[in-house]
Amino acid sequence: MSIFTGAGVALITPMREDGSINYDEMERIVNYQIDNGTDAIIVCGTTGEASTMSHEEHIETIKLCVGMVKKRVPVIAGTGSNCTQTAIYLSKEAKRVGADGILVVSPYYNKATQNGLKKHFTEIAKSTDLPVILYNIAGRTGVNILPQTLAELSKEVDTIVAVKEASGDISQVADIIARSEGKLDVYSGNDDQIVPIVALGGKGVISVLSHILPQETHDIVEKTMSGDVEAAAKLQIKYFSLIKALFSEVNPIPVKAAMNMMGFNAGPLRMPLTEMEEAHKEVLRQEMIKAGIKVIS
């Protein structure tokens, strides 16, 4: 059974000017997302700047997010690390504080072999009974989780139930779905590829776009899954330039800028991320206006 179907938001972590986490604003954003069609909250992932959180902040953020959501939608906690034991620790803590599932990125910098990836993910999955979504994003980690590896993991480890696929390779997505034989749900990790991935049998998207267009991102998935691919494709194309602007600098720099423009207190980024360049910000602002998003700053 899928952890969720539809559009899950890869939640930003709003910050105060002093760099501390703004949990009041996080609750406002969580409620806005759920009220506007988002199907799952993914907390402490890449977009949430988890890599610059202490372990204590990481666990506290998951715990408080679970409390904010109040079981209205699943909460999936990012618990990945390039250290297997750290990922196990964070995964156990996510279970303790009430997460419904975990998102585990492939180990970055180490550049493990496919055999090493299998052992890493297996050890993490066996440390908890939470369902596991693997995260394949070679552009950040340096290693592609191959379709055969994903298929083997899905068949050998019961709790590995899905993958967030951000390779950008549609042929690879088709290969994963074919090899896993229904044992592995696939979520698009790229907002510009929702329709083709869901049309191939994917279950939805783990999205950055959902921050600013939650209902529309949900609708792209829902329309594709219901067979109205033409309408879904029109929405996908309508927001293509906006999606491009949301990734004109490294995520989550643009989406935090966008949320600030909408009147949310997303706040600053933690170093080494820096504020969006003005030229890119202006392009993003204009694309948001074209998409019908109310921009107040």
Catalytic center residues: 135, 164
Please tell me whether the peptide bond between 252 and the residue prior to it is cis, using omega within 30 degrees of 0. Answer: yes
String of b and e for 216-251 (b: at least 16 CB within 10 Å)? bbbbbbbbbbeeebeebbebbeebeebbebbbbbeb
Instruction: Note whether 47 and 87 are within 8 A (CB).
Output: no
Distances (CA, A) of 1 to 141, 159, 206: 28, 11, 17
Please name the residue that has the structure tokens 């329309």. 223
Distances (CA, A) of 229 to 107, 186, 291: 35, 18, 20
Of the candidates 139, 165, 130, the residue with the CA atom closest to the CA atom of residue 151: 165
Classify strands 101-105 and 75-78 as parallel, antiparallel or unpaired.
parallel
129 secondary structure, DSSP code: S
d(CA 175, CA 177): 5
